[in-house]
């Protein structure tokens, strides 16, 4: 019998982990399977929760170099697991009690924290549940690696080869892409969507994303974009940062058509209206953009996972990278001037997109847990 209770566990340390979990929740529900999305930081102590939820945003904004150093230092497969587990267990007593009481029939994790705790509880025979881990970046950091995971879902064949070489059983690794809301893969006419959103219907459109939490040097980035020679229009998504949206209003009276948008539940529409995505190289945002056919313009990727995502996107021919914001307009103008190159990149985007990843993950898990 197919399990009727799937627990999808995420961590609110980055908007991507949550969005991936939401996509999986919807995919299971669409198959008639009862699912629950649990944000596990709610079940940890206050200090631990604050560090996990706030420290990342603080480092992205003010000390990205430290973030990259920590990322590289911790990327030692199998090395620091006992120490991490001790800290996590000390801070997650409520989560352990919740899991022991609720006893999901299947657990799927979009973050390494709940995966670590579930693996430990199963090893100690305190629970008996199959565990799936969904890696939400193109590359797989050592923090994601555990013994005895039933399913790993990754974004690329290269990541599968790498994990297999490190001892993860190859038959447990599935290349599905990163789970996103399937609405990003639904066909829309750009002109129609642009009219709905109050945009000029036949003008090259740049979507500037500050990520789910509205972090990064967005003001400097926008100032640079206003020097573009090509006629374009821009929409800037500020995420959950109303202060940023307010600061950017000073740019609204420019010669380039410009819209400043705060937090929105219509990201798929804004992406459907755009031609290029300018900003971060987060796994979820990039996967959504590729599903919508957007060429990526990656600006100063955050050291660590964004740097590695960027390497993959450049190799696949779906992105350009700008390391110096003052040259951003030049980089984009050069791309738009070369219509053949731009068209080639758009074709590469179509080849790389995996809009049905969430559905595919749900299907694999349910097929393998059916009698």
Beta bridge partners of 8: 37, 108
pLDDT at residue 206 is higher than 70? yes
pLDDT at residue 211 is higher than 70? no
Burial class (CB in 10 A: 0-12, 13-18, 19+), 209: buried
CA angle 193, 198, 200 (to 5 degrees): 80
Q: Which of 350, 293, 282, 345 lies closest to 319, judged by CA?
A: 345
What is the spatial distance between Cα 297 and Cα 144, in angstroms, rounded to a whole number?
27
Between 242 and 44, residue with greater pLDDT: 44
Q: Which of 358, 316, 368 lies closest to 29, judged by CA?
A: 358
Q: What is the pLDDT of residue 214?
A: 43
Q: How confident is the model at residue 241 (pLDDT cuts 50, 70, 90)?
A: low
**Dihedral angle computed from the Cα positions of residues 167, 170, 175 and 179, in that order, rounded to the nearest 10 degrees:** -60
What is the spatial distance between Cα 279 and Cα 63, in angstroms, rounded to a whole number?
18
Give 260-272 as a DSSP string: EE-S-S-HHHHHH
DSSP state of 304: T
Q: What is the pLDDT of residue 1?
A: 39
Q: What is the pLDDT of residue 74?
A: 84
What is the spatial distance between Cα 253 and Cα 234, in angstroms, rounded to a whole number?
13
Q: What is the pLDDT of residue 169?
A: 95
Q: Which domains does the chain have, with CATH numbers?
A: 6-180+356-369 (3.40.50.2000), 183-352 (3.40.50.2000)
Q: How confident is the model at residue 14 (pLDDT cuts 50, 70, 90)?
A: confident
Q: Is the dihedral of CA 329, 334, 337, 342 positive or negative?
A: negative
Asked if residues 133 and 20 have their Cβ atoms less than 8 Å apart, the reply is no
Mean pLDDT of 80-90: 81
pLDDT at residue 71 is higher than 90? no
Left, alpha or beta for 287 (phi > 0: left; psi -120 to 50: alpha)? alpha
Task: Report the mean per-residue pLDDT for the chain.
Answer: 89
Q: What is the pLDDT of residue 84?
A: 80
Mean pLDDT of 202-214: 78
Between 18 and 79, residue with greater pLDDT: 18
pLDDT at residue 175 is higher than 90? yes
Number of Cβ within a 10 Å radius of residue 317: 16
Q: What is the pLDDT of residue 216?
A: 56
pLDDT digits (tens, 9 = 90+) for 263-321: 788 999 999 999 999 988 889 999 999 999 999 999 988 888 899 999 999 999 999 99
Lowest model confidence (mean pLDDT) among 152-156, 197-201, 259-263, 308-312 = 259-263
pLDDT at residue 328 is higher than 60? yes
pLDDT digits (tens, 9 = 90+) for 17-70: 999 999 999 999 999 999 999 999 999 888 888 777 777 777 766 777 887 888
Q: What is the pLDDT of residue 360?
A: 98
Q: What is the pLDDT of residue 296?
A: 97
Q: What is the pLDDT of residue 243?
A: 72
Spatial neighbors of 343 by CB under 8 A, at least 6 apart, are none
Mean pLDDT of 175-204: 95
């Amino acid at each position: 019998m197919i399990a009727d209770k799937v627990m999808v566990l995420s961590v609110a340390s980055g908007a991507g982990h949550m969005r991936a979990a939401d996509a999986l929740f919807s995919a299971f529900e669409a198959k008639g399977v009862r699912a629950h999305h649990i944000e596990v930081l709610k079940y940890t102590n206050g200090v631990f929760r604050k560090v996990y939820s706030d420290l990342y945003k603080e480092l992205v904004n003010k000390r990205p170099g430290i973030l990259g150093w920590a990322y590289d230092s911790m990327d030692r497969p199998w090395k620091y697991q006992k120490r991490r587990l001790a800290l996590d267990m000390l801070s997650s007593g409520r989560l352990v009690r919740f899991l022991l009481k609720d006893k999901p029939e299947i657990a799927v994790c979009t973050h390494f924290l709940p995966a670590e705790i579930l693996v430990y509880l199963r090893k100690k025979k305190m629970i008996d549940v199959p565990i799936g881990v969904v890696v939400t970046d193109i590359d797989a950091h050592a923090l994601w690696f555990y013994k005895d995971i039933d399913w790993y879902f990754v974004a690329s064949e290269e990541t599968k080869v790498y994990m297999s070489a490190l001892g993860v059983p190859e038959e447990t690794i599935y290349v599905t892409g990163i789970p996103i809301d399937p609405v990003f893969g639904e066909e829309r006419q750009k002109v129609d969507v642009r009219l709905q959103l109050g945009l000029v219907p036949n003008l090259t459109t740049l979507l500037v994303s500050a990520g789910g939490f509205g972090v990064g040097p967005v003001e400097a980035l926008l100032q640079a974009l206003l020097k573009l020679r090509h006629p374009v229009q821009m929409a800037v998504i500020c995420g959950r940062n109303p202060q940023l949206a307010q600061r950017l209003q000073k740019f609204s009276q420019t010669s380039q058509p410009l819209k400043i948008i705060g937090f929105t539940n219509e990201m798929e529409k804004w992406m459907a209206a755009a031609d290029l995505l300018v900003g971060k190289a987060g796994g979820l945002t990039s996967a959504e953009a590729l599903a919508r056919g957007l060429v990526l313009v990656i600006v100063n990727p955050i050291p660590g996972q964004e740097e590695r995502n960027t390497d993959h996107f450049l190799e696949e021919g779906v992105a350009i990278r700008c390391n110096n914001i003052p040259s951003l307009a030049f980089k984009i103008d050069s791309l738009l001037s070369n219509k053949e190159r731009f068209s080639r990149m758009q074709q590469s985007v179509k080849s790389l997109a995996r809009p049905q990843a969430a559905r595919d993950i749900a299907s694999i898990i349910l097929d393998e847990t059916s009698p």
